[in-house]
Amino acid sequence: MIPKLAAKGSSFKGAAAYYLHDKGASTNERVAWTATVNLATENPEAAWRIMVATAKDQARLKEQAGIRNTGRKSADVVLAYSLAWHPDEKDGLTREEMLLAAHASIKALGADHCQALIVAHQDEPHPHVHVILNRVSPEDGRMLSSSNEKLNLSRWAEAYERGRGKILCEERVANNQARDMLGEFTRAAKDRPRHLHEQEKGLTKSNKGQMVKDQERSKDAALAAKGRDMHKRHRAEWDKLRTDHKDRRAAIIARAKAATSQVRAEIQAARLPAWRQMHKRHFAELRLFKEREQRLTGKIHNALAAIKSMGAVRGENSAQGFLGNAFNYLTSTAKREAALVQRQQFEKRDFAVEQRREVKTRVAAIRTEQRQEERENVKQLGNKVATLRNSQEHDRQNLRSEWRERNTERSGEWSKVRASRDMRRQVAERFSGRSQGRQDRTK
């Protein structure tokens, strides 16, 4: 199962015109069948028009559902993708099975509430369907999220193949394993915490307070920079891990490809003398045939040889072949020569088939070794991932410890500023009280 996303678009009419007709024509012979999802019609022409109306009615649907019509608007309301089965699965693959797979893929995208038109094509050796999906929900007008849609389809396709009992795309399995183990570790930058502003509130009017503010913010900035450097280094380590994994896998594939080419070359070189000998024998047979055609007895000999050879090629009984073809071969030089050439062509074909069979056997062993190396590569990746996670978690714990110490130190410095401010206020209030007392006594 191979899912493939097309670029998002804004025209259901254009999508329907392409998928419901033959390429570059108004005919529709490549369309095997169609189906609809969450639509009140099975007519594909009516279906895409309803989806157009739904998309245009987005604002009213939101209002009716009590959802504010805010946020950035997008015209890309059309999501189209295909689901392709392996050609070997064609025999026995029913419409019902293909339809169930299409419905399951829609659910994997979180779009089982959306309108969709499913179109099955029969113009390729592999069975496949196309899904035209309306990203605007007919329930509340919300736009379907495009987040992780390719990854979700990939994971669904892997689960689908496992459910059918045979993995046909091993590369996808390896990629999904790598994604599971590597993950995504980037974090958005955070705003300055509110409690830091609360610490500074009312304490920065004095020179001492302003100096402490500058000093503490400088220390915070230095530690924050250290944290950013750590995260940058961590991302670089994960990038290197991914690159190393891909490079090892590419090397495994390259070795297998080179080994396969070498096997083909070796077998071809080993069988080349036999091929030349067969070609030389065919040339001699054709020359002898033409010499015999100069005599009546030779023509009879050639005719009998033609009947015999064609009987062997077609798997016929020689007597029956003689009765059915003797007259044609006895009266026509062209037919006798054609029989000889056809028999020689069958010999060449059998020779090539045997050579391909030998290559296939040798290459199968190479493929088995390649798969084992790829499994070992994934296992090695898992071990490296675990080691790197532990190492980076240790770095993060150390950074958190430094931030705790930084917070304690900062709080202590602001406590000193606060205490100094309170002391100045007390002194000022005491001095103000004494001045007021002297003024009262003077009066």
pLDDT tens-digit map of 198-224? 666 666 667 777 888 888 889 988 998
Query: What DSSP line would sit under 60-113, residue for residue?
Result: HHHHHTT----S------EEEEEEE--GGG-TT--HHHHHHHHHHHHHHTT-TT
* Contact in structure between 355 and 267 (CB atoms under 8 Å): yes
Q: Write out pLDDT tens, residues 100-109.
A: 999 999 999 9
Please tell me the predicted confidence (pLDDT) of residue 433: 67
Q: Write out pLDDT tens, residues 233-288.
A: 999 999 999 999 999 999 999 999 999 999 999 999 999 999 999 999 999 989 99
- As beta bridge partners, residue 3 has 83
CATH 2.60.40.2470 fits 2-62+76-168, yes or no: no
Q: Which residue has the tokens 């067969």?
A: 278
* Contact in structure between 128 and 53 (CB atoms under 8 Å): no
Which residue, 423, 375, 421, is CA-closest to 171? 375
Q: Range(s) for CATH 3.30.930.30 in the chain?
A: 2-62+76-168
Please tell me the predicted confidence (pLDDT) of residue 72: 63
Q: Write out pLDDT tens, residues 131-162.
A: 999 999 999 999 998 888 988 999 999 899 88
Q: What is the mean pLDDT of residues 86-92?
A: 86
Please tell me the predicted confidence (pLDDT) of residue 186: 36
Please tell me the predicted confidence (pLDDT) of residue 254: 95
Rg for the chain, CA atoms, rounded: 40
Runs of H (alpha helix) within 183-317:
194-200, 207-292, 296-314
Please tell me the predicted confidence (pLDDT) of residue 373: 94
Exposed e or buried b per residue across 56-85, where buried means at least 16 C-beta atoms within 10 angstroms of its C-beta: eebeebbeeeeeeeeeeeeeebbbbbbbbb
Cα 351 to Cα 52, 286, 312, 346: the distances in Å are 60, 19, 16, 8
Q: Write out pLDDT tens, residues 38-55.
A: 999 999 999 999 999 999
Least confident range from 72-76, 252-256, 281-285, 403-407: namely 72-76
Please tell me the predicted confidence (pLDDT) of residue 36: 96
Whether the pLDDT of residue 185 is over 50: the answer is: no
* Contact in structure between 329 and 339 (CB atoms under 8 Å): yes
381 C-beta neighbours (distance < 10 Å), count: 21
Q: Write out pLDDT tens, residues 379-400.
A: 999 999 999 999 999 999 999 9
Cα 27 to Cα 22, 30, 252, 292, 365: the distances in Å are 6, 8, 47, 57, 47
Q: What is the mean pLDDT of residues 162-187?
A: 65
What residues contact 440, with CB distance under 8 A and at least 6 apart?
Answer: none
Higher pLDDT, 285 or 438: 285
Q: Write out pLDDT tens, residues 311-322.
A: 655 555 444 544
- This prediction has a pTM of 0.47
Q: Which residue has the tokens 């961590």?
A: 234
* Contact in structure between 336 and 302 (CB atoms under 8 Å): yes
Residue 179: exposure state from Cβ atoms within 10 A (0-12, 13-18, ≥19): middle
| Strand order from edge to edge, sheet including 128-134 | 2-5, 78-84, 128-134, 116-121, 31-37
What residues contact 275, with CB distance under 8 A and at least 6 apart?
Answer: 351
Please tell me the predicted confidence (pLDDT) of residue 192: 55
Q: Which residue has the tokens 């020569």?
A: 337
94-98, 293-297, 317-321, 420-424: range with highest mean pLDDT: 94-98
